[in-house]
Amino acid sequence: MQDDPKTLVSTDWLAAHLKDPDLRVLDASWYLPQQGRDARAEYEAAHIPGARYFDIDEISDNRSDLPHMVPPVEKFMSKLRAMGVGDGHQVVIYDGAGLFSAARVWWLFRLMGQTNVAVLDGGFPKWQAEGHPVEDLPPVIRDRHMTVRVQNHMVRDVTQVSAAAKLGDHEIIDARSAERFRGDAPEPREGLRAGHIPGSKNVPFGQVLNEDGTMKDPEGIRTAFESAGVDLSKPAITSCGSGVTAAILSLALERTGKTDHSLYDGSWVEWGAFPTLPVATGEN
């Protein structure tokens, strides 16, 4: 695996750089309610030394009825400043599942114009399995200003996704399970129709990961997308249930060198709740 401090770094890379003065490590663990895990409690019990806890639900747009939507710029800046994360820092993000929610926070940083940010490949499970140090101490915080330059091309709203679905000029890629994509399985959130955005392709996020929770190499990633019928020459829009696992596909696309990708922030929680939007079922 090739370390890239702008996308993905290995546990060996992080262990070698852990004491760098301008490194900031974030625990961005987040779980679905049915998983029965308390991300903050797990962080407080054990985390990578110096790591701060990034609460995906808290650092979001609380004015929206949709879950963990992109926060206002001012809120993002103030929350990160309070964590002691700012300009000139190299950020590494991990989660307790291996590679699940950390990609969402990587994408959020990139959306805010921060490029020196990477996900820890294999996350906390791999870090612990290899015997690297953990601690339960709160980090020492020193304020650091963060300059934000929003990259609006990296996010899409329902109107833009609806237009893309009609025109067919983008590849809309859905990271949910095949059963949910086809409409065979009920949605975990009440009130949502089953199925997918017409014309979208299904690449369940696990297909770009290895069995140990690390990300496949660029060739393996390309194979996963192309096997699902994705035309990688078109600009891509990633989607999922609520905008978390879609970011795994965004990170995977970036690892292949593809930069013309955006994420549908509302994802199925929004699309599936709109009775006027078309829904497709089955394989296509």
Q: Kindly state the tokens that stand for 228.
A: 């699902």
* Residue 262: φ, ψ to 5°: -135, 170
CB burial string 133-146: b at 16+ within 10 A, e below: eeeeeebeeeebeb
With a CB cutoff of 8 Å and minimum separation 6, the contacts of 114 are: 91, 146, 148
Q: Which helix (H) or strand (E) holds 236?
A: strand 236-239
Q: Judge whether 240 counts as a catalytic residue.
A: yes
Cα 122 to the center of its chain, rounded Å: 14
Q: Which residue out of 91, 155, 203, 240 is catalytically annotated?
A: 240
CB burial string 168-184: b at 16+ within 10 A, e below: eebbbbbbbbeebbbbe
> Which residues are catalytic, by number?
240
